[in-house]
């Protein structure tokens, strides 16, 4: 039985590792053939501890692949105008390929304004209106948002390349995950039900679906009896839980019970999380190619 359970676990960590390996190879070829060195500039405002951890993790993995990066740490009370000024500078900097503003931002700064000041060709998070709008229309953006791109990759790796006709429920409608991922799944010819905190009978809606994707951050919310036998469960929820003196990360699914019914499930941690970083690094490499008008199949393998 243990072996049967193990086969259901989607090893995002391992899949992300393979992607990062290929990105690393691409970075090497880009350097040797074109003398171009991909660089990611991250803007971190204030001292939110999770945001600090996330940007450090991004920098650590970038470095492993030979991608240059810099974290621009700005004080919490910095003005919106100064942030926009820095983004303008980075937009114009020829050595900067990716620009990422770590979210959330404090109230006195408009996230919409800040994000949409980023050059869409440097928008490695895929959050600008230009990139989002293209996804909405079913056109190719320069960049897909990292977590949604990672989820589509995982779904294709367990279900085969063709997702057409599958019934999926998206729990959560955030701008960084729920909305873009919903449209990306529509573009894959899936039948998508988008739900949120006002949705009625969420459990019954979930029970009918081939795929359940949840990104709300409500630990253990999705119970085994919400899940159809054999359904694919993708857990994007992540919350810290202090148990004794240890910190645990927990997802939106009641993992221990749901895994008995699921066809496949992503663990937390080690599922979607590592894919997000892999996709960011992939997008940074892609940005270096786009900005330099390079179309090289040896480098861009995805």
Query: Shortest Cβ distance from residue 213 to ligand GUN (Å)?
Result: 16
Of 8, 41, 102, 209, which is the active-site residue? 102
Nearest approach in angstroms of CB 7 to ligand GUN is 30
Q: Which is it for strands 246-250 and 239-243: parallel, antiparallel or unpaired?
A: antiparallel
Are the C-beta atoms of residues 299 and 282 closer than 8 Å to each other?
Answer: no
Question: Is 149 part of the annotated catalytic residue set?
Answer: no
- The least CB distance from residue 163 to ligand GUN, in Å, is 22
Would you count residue 287 as binding ligand GUN (CB under 6 A)?
Answer: no
Does 43 contact ligand GUN by CB under 6 A? Answer: no
Query: Are 240 and 229 a contacting pair, CB within 8 Å?
Result: no
Angstrom distance (rounded) from CA 225 to CA 207: 7
Please choose, out of 86-94, 100-108, 136-144, 223-231, the segment that lies near ligand GUN by the rule CB under 6 A: 100-108
DSSP secondary structure, 82-130, as one string: HHHHHHHHHHH-TT--EEEEPSPPPTTS-HHHHHHHS-TTT-TT--SHH
Which of 8, 65, 98, 102 touches ligand GUN (CB under 6 A)? 102
Interaction of residue 123 with ligand GUN, rule CB under 6 A:
no
| Angle at 165 (CA atoms; ends 126, 133), nearest 5 degrees | 25
Site for ligand GUN in 1-20 (CB under 6 A): none
183 Cβ contact list (under 8 Å, min separation 6): 135, 136, 138
What is the SS3 string spanning 163-191? CCCCEEEEECCCCCCHHHHHHHHHHCCCE
Asked if 103 touches ligand GUN (CB under 6 A), the answer is yes
Of 273, 237, 271, nearest to 252 by C-alpha is 237
Judged by CB under 6 A, the residue of 44, 101, 194, 232 near ligand GUN is 101
Helix (H, G, I), strand (E, B) or coil at 203: helix
- Report whether 280 contacts 127 (CB < 8 A): no
We find the least distance from the C-beta atom of residue 9 to ligand GUN, in angstroms, to be: 23
Q: According to the binding rule CB under 6 A, does residue 100 interact with ligand GUN?
A: yes
Stretch of residues binding ligand GUN (CB under 6 A), selected from 65-73, 99-107, 197-205, 230-238: 99-107
Q: Does 83 bind ligand GUN (CB under 6 A)?
A: no
Of the candidate spans 7-15, 80-88, 98-106, 255-263, the one that interacts with ligand GUN by CB under 6 A turns out to be 98-106
Residue whose structure tokens are 């990292």: 146
Our finding on whether 176 is near ligand GUN (CB under 6 A) is yes
DSSP state of 245: T
Cβ proximity to ligand GUN, 101 vs 216, nearer residue? 101
Is 102 among the residues known to form the active site?
A: yes
Of 146 and 275, which has the nearer Cβ to ligand GUN?
A: 146
Using alpha carbons, list the distances in angstroms from residue 88 to 18, 99, 136, 280. Answer: 34, 11, 26, 21
Minimum separation from the CB atom of position 24 to ligand GUN (A): 21
Which of these ranges, 101-109, 224-232, 237-245, 251-259, lies near ligand GUN under the rule CB under 6 A?
Answer: 101-109
Q: Which of 20, 58, 122, 179 is catalytic?
A: 58
Return the beta strands (E) in 145-278 as ranges.
167-171, 191-195, 211-214, 232-235, 239-243, 246-250, 264-265
Residues annotated catalytic, as ranges: 58, 102, 125
**Which residues bind to ligand GUN, rule: CB under 6 A?**
100-103, 125, 146-147, 176
């Amino acid at each position: 039985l243990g072996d049967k359970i193990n086969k259901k676990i989607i090893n995002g960590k391992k899949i992300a590792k393979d992607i990062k390996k290929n990105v690393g190879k691409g970075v090497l070829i880009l350097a040797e053939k074109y003398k171009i060195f991909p660089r990611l500039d991250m803007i971190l405002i204030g001292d939110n501890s999770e945001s600090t951890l996330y940007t450090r993790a991004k920098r650590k993995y970038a470095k492993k692949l030979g991608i240059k990066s810099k974290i621009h740490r700005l004080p919490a009370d910095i003005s919106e105008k100064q942030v926009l000024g820095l983004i303008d500078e980075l937009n114009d900097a020829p050595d900067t390929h990716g620009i990422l503003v770590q979210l959330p931002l404090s109230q006195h700064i408009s996230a919409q304004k800040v994000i949409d000041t980023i050059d869409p060709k440097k928008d490695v998070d895929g959050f600008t209106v230009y990139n989002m709008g293209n996804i909405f229309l079913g056109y190719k953006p320069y960049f897909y948002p990292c977590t949604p791109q990672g989820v589509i990759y995982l779904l294709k790796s367990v279900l085969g390349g063709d997702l057409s006709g599958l019934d999926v429920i998206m729990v959560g409608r955030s701008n960084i995950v729920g909305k873009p991922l919903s449209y990306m799944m529509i573009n894959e010819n899936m039948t998508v039900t988008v739900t949120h905190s006002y949705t009625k009978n969420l459990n019954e809606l979930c029970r009918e679906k081939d795929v359940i994707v949840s990104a709300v951050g409500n630990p253990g919310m999705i119970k085994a009896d919400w899940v159809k036998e054999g359904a694919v469960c993708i857990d994007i929820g992540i919350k810290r839980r202090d148990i004794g003196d240890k910190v645990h990360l927990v997802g939106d699914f009641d993992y221990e019970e749901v895994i008995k019914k699921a066809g496949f499930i992503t663990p937390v941690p080690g599922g979607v999380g590592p894919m997000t970083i892999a996709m960011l690094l992939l997008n940074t490499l892609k940005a270096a190619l786009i900005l330099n008008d390079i179309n090289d199949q040896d480098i861009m393998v995805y």
